[in-house]
Each structure stands twice: as C-alpha cells, then as structure tokens.
Amino acid sequence: MSSTPVLKPPAQKRLTRKIVLIGALPIMLANAGAPLVGFVDTWVVGNFEGREALAGIGLGAVIFGIFYWGFGFLRMSTAGLSAQADGADDQHSVQAHLFRAVPMGFAIGMVILLLQGFLIHGIMQFFPAESAVADGARDYLHARIWGLPAILSSIALMGWFIGLARPGRALQMQIVLNLINAPLSLLFVVKFGWGLSGVGYASAIAEWCGLLAGLMLALGEIKSRGGFDKLATRLMVLLDVEALKKLATANGNIFVRTVALTLGFTFFARAATEQGTTFLAAHTVLMQFITMIALVLDSFANVAEARVGSAYGAGDKRRFNRAVRLTSEFSFIFALLCGLLVYILGPWVIDQLTTDVAVRATARLYLPYCALTPILGFAAWQLDGIFIGITRTAAMRNAGVVAVLIYLLAHYTLEPKFGGAGVWSAFLIYYVARAVTMLPAWPSIKRDLSGISVENDRKT
C-alpha cells in the first residue's frame, strides 16, 4: 500500500441542525446499546431471581463500572485526538490513534483480568452489603470480568469512530453485542439456572463478539481512506515522541478526572447500600434510567467531540462556535424530553424491572429526582464533549476533582438531615458542580482558538 492515502474523507459540509440530529441519532442508539446490557441483565434478574439478587447485580454493576469507566480515557482521548487529526487532514495520525488505543485497552483489560481476585476482594470491602447481596455481586463480577479486555478495546475503537464522525459504525458494534447478550442472558439464567454468574458470562461473550465486529468495521474504514500505511511509515508515526507525549498527557489528565467521576458514582452506590437492601435494589432500578439518559444526551456531546474537535484542529472559529451552539441546543431540548418521559413513563418501567412491591414503592418515591437529572445535568455532559474534542484535559481533570469534593460536602450536609432524599439531592448537586467547575477554562479556550486561527492564516 502507498504511504499516502489514495482517498481522503469527504470535506465537512456547513453544520446544520439536520446534520447534528442525523449525526446524533446513530450515536444515541449506539450509546444506548451499552447500558442496554445492564438493562437486560436487570430485567432478567429482577423478574426471575428476587430482591437480593437484584441488589447484588446492582452492586456488581457499580464495581464493574469502576473498571469500565475508570479507563474511559481510552475513548475520550482517542475521540478528541482523532477528530483533530481528521480536521487537519492528517491521515497518518488518524491511523496511529487507532493502533495506539485499541492494544492499550486490551493490555489494561488483561492485567485486570489476571488480578481479578485481589481487586474484587479489595473493592468489596468498601461496600457494607448483606452477605447474600455481596455473594451475588462477586458471582457476577468474576463472570463478567472475562469480557473486560474486549470492552476496553471496544471503547477505544468506538472513540475512534466517533472522532471521525462515523457513528453508524459504533452503532453496528452495539447491535451485534445486544443481539447476542439478551438471548444468552435468558438462556443462562432461566434455562440453565446459573443465576448472576450466567448474566455475567452472557455479557462477557457478547462483548467479545462486539469487538470482533468493530475490528472488521475499522478495517473497512481504513480501506475507505486509502488503505494501511506502509509498515515503516506506520511505525514512524506510532513512535512519534511528540504525539506520544500528547497522548500520555491527555490520558493522564482524563484518567484522574475519570477516577474522580468514578469515585462520585461509587460513593453514591455506597450511600445507597447504607440505606438498606430495599433502597439499594430501588437504586439499581433507577440507575437504569440515569444511565440511559446520560448516554442519550452523550450523543450530542459526541457530535460535539467530532465537530468541535475538527474545527479546533483546523483553527476555524466560525465553525467551532456553530458546532458548540447547535449541539448544545439539541442537548437542552432532549434533556427536557428525557426528564418528562422518565416522570410520566417511569412507574410503568419500574414495574417491568422488578416484581418486588417494596422495591417498586421505593423506586417510585425517588423517581422525581431521577427525572430532574437530565435537566440539571445536560450542561455537564455537553461540556465534557466539547472539552474532549479540543483535548482540554487539564481543565477537565481539575474540574472533576473539585466537583467530587463539592458532592461529598453536599452529601454529608444533607444525608444526616433528610436520609434518602438527602442522598439523591446531593447527587443532583454533583451534576451541577461538574458543569460549573469547567466554565472558568472557557476564556482561555477562546484565546487559544484565536491563536491557532492566526497561525493557520500565516501558513496560508
């Protein structure tokens, strides 16, 4: 293959609301496909296994999320850097970001898999769960963690697709995953009686199938851009010192930010655990709403990653401002729609996810807090997408640390006085804090963009 791609990606048209919506819809479906695994698992367990098992899978999902979201930099940095490389029409770097990120995700997943016994035991000590709940969580974790290398590789791959504004390929990965996960979960739990282990194994198998589908799609994307670089060119780009430094800095900052974010959600789960098994089971049900909401709204943040990142890489201020404005408008509108749908349809969905009367009543009691989450949280998700697209990772790191400190302060102020209502109120404050703490970096972003624009004008 020639080291210079024969074909170039099509030039981006002027961004319109129609393009934003068309771009967001496949991302929305792809993003929703990830928590759909947890949604299906919750439905299977909630209808066939009982309250303790439902609480157990909820606790197991939270702990698994530490491994999953803790390495979210694999997706975020890959999306931002790929978008900027695509905007600068640097096809060598576009390939390099893929070849760095996917093996990195696989390697991290294998290390965690090998250390699973030590890690799961250590993390479980943080949660004061009843013995039946804790045992169920362990069964689920030890089964599902076999899919972690595939999961971490897949999120890097999906970040690459999103950065290149190819959300349809990410959607196809999730379709394969969910078409396999749902029937396997039912087979392993209902037919074979494997309980929470069966749910975990079904998810793990599905994740490997999703990764294989994604790798084939990546091959097609590279071919559409002219094919693979020559080996010598590929190695030269992969080992570029400056690019590796930039990647290490971005990954390090996002890792710290993600650890802070994971700590916030883990603390929320621990607070739910302290309220008792019924509250924890209801928390598990309500978190399905929040996860789905987050990933629906993330679709507009993902569009922002690609469009804002590409404009930033090209130094185009007008295109940058338009991408920020249009994607944010849609994020706000869909936040209102999501909140309304959760409030209206929530009771019916709760009844589908669990047959336990006490869990249903508790979930309904706190459903209004769940409905407020997208309205108060949309700015946090949207700013994440913008900052990832321009790889302003140091600001994200600092904001993430400060926001979780605000959350902890709010929790210890409100929970002793208001109990479960205080737990949920502090969590909503956390979403607001995540957005507010990122705003101070905005003026410097605008100044840097102006500098890039001036530099590009000089070159031309």
pLDDT tens digits along 96-137: 888 888 988 999 999 999 998 888 888 888 776 677 788 888
Measured distance CA(263)–CA(269) in Å, rounded? 10
- 3 domain residue, yes or no: no
- Position 39 scores a pLDDT of 67
- 457 domain residue, yes or no: no
Residue 86 domain boundaries: 26-451
- 7 domain residue, yes or no: no
Is the pLDDT score of 6 beyond 60?
no
* Residue 336 pLDDT grade (very low, low, confident, very high; cuts 50, 70, 90): very high
* Angle of helix 317-353 versus helix 367-389 axis, rounded to 10: 150
Choose among 284, 169, 125, 151: nearest CA to 206: 151
What's this model's pTM, rounded to 2 decimal places?
A: 0.69
CB 183: neighbour CB atoms within 10 A? 13
- 15 domain residue, yes or no: no
Q: 89: left (phi > 0), else alpha (psi -120 to 50), else beta? A: left
The per-residue b/e assignment along 258-297, b for 16 or more CB within 10 angstroms, e otherwise, is bbbbbbbbbbbbbbbbebebbbbbbbbbbbbbbbbbbbbb
Percent of the chain with pLDDT over 90: 32
Task: Find the mean pLDDT for residues 153-173.
Answer: 86
- Position 13 scores a pLDDT of 61
Q: Please tell me the least confidently modeled range out of 79-93, 139-153, 178-192, 375-389.
A: 79-93
What are the distances in angstroms from CA 305 to CA 46, 65, 159? 36, 23, 10
Residue 166 structure tokens: 């190819």
- 413 domain residue, yes or no: yes
Residue 43 structure tokens: 């439905």
Q: Euclidean distance between the first and final Cα of the chain, in Å?
A: 30
- Position 247 scores a pLDDT of 73
- 264 domain residue, yes or no: yes
- 118 domain residue, yes or no: yes
How many separate domains does the chain show? Answer: 1
- Position 218 scores a pLDDT of 92
